[in-house]
Structure 1
Amino acid sequence: MSTVETPGAAGATGTTGTAELLSSVLARAAEEDRAALIGYFPAGFPTVEDGIRAAVAMAEGGCDVLEVGLPHSDPVLDGPVIQTADDIALRGGLRIADVLRTIREVHAATGVPVLCMTYWNPVDRYGPERFAAELAAAGGAGCILPDLPVEESEAWRKAAARHGLATVFVVAPSSRDARLATITAAGSGFVYAASLMGVTGTRESVGAE
């Protein structure tokens, strides 16, 4: 739908990602004086097909942007809910190809920008260039990499830029102004601002800071 064939582009597919679509969706929300609603769902939970249906339902229910999680065997930044979902997906035999299929089918069905949220290790092992090319071919808008330091991200950022993908970094509540400036300058799409220290999951309250 929103992928663009570009003769001579890097990668075997000749396809660029949908980072521009992501930017336009966020800009439209700002023009409407509202926050964009961004939903997250782990691929492969409880099965690949069910995960696709759930993500499509989230878009149909009003999400402007979707994040599809790439399950990890050691999700150190996540709480018990996502840990359990990741474990179920991996026990079901989930592979990166299934995550890319999820992104492809959800984007094709809904037209919303879909990002992959993943720890760096699976991307590094798969190959940053290969992952970027295949994510773009699937219609992906970009990648959220919560554990990739900006200082170690140059190879990925170059691959992402070649394939029309946004690179979203995470900032912690403890980040100082200089660090915020570094991260915002290096990233694209948007900045993922963690609201609190600790793992993901529900809270009864969030601190004022």
Structure 2
Amino acid sequence: MIRVLVAEDQSAVRAGLVLILRSAPDIEVVGEAADGERAVELARSLGPDLVLMDVQMPRLDGVSATRRIVAERLADVLVLTTFDLDEYVFGALRAGAAGFLLKNAEARELLEAVRTVARGEGIVAPAVTRRLIAEFAAAPARGTEAGRAELEGLTRREREVLRCIGEGLPNAEIAARLDMAEGTVKTHVSRLLAKLGLRSRVQAAVLARELGV
């Protein structure tokens, strides 16, 4: 069972999200928050697996709330976003959000996104991912030498997995391409994120693109 906390300030939208999530037999809505501060408080007290987070909320915005939740390792965060708010998206990326979903996504897409993040695969919406990678990579990149030095600590297999993450492949496809068990892929992903000091697969995808891995 995937335990989800919904953070959205518009009551009608929040009610709709909750209704969709509760329609799935493998998802449980454990709490609702109308602002960022409350989202952090509930994440601490309820211990959800995932927080579905809107970026624009009162008291504490979604990016700041995401940063606190990720820093305290309270839950994974799936951010609801629109393309006209890219600065918020980039902020959530840097804060360690595990995934991004368009607010106009279909019910099926929302449920699959939640399941994908719960499996540890943070790149959930290809259209969002491509936009994020393209625009984030167009911003001033980290120093090439520094970035290359970070990669030196990765094993050959970890580099191959990082390259696949940069292409937006989920674990199952990475496993098939590299001829390894899916569980082994998950292990490599966890290790390379730790070695590179990254908080999410989306950040790893951006780094892979920036450095041309």
Could you say which TM-score interval applies, normalised by the shorter chain? Answer: 0.3 to 0.5
Higher relative CO (Cα under 8 Å, sequence separation at least 6) belongs to 1
Given the two structures, how large is their TM-score scaled by the length of structure 2? 0.36
Compare the two structures and name the one with the higher helix fraction. Answer: 2
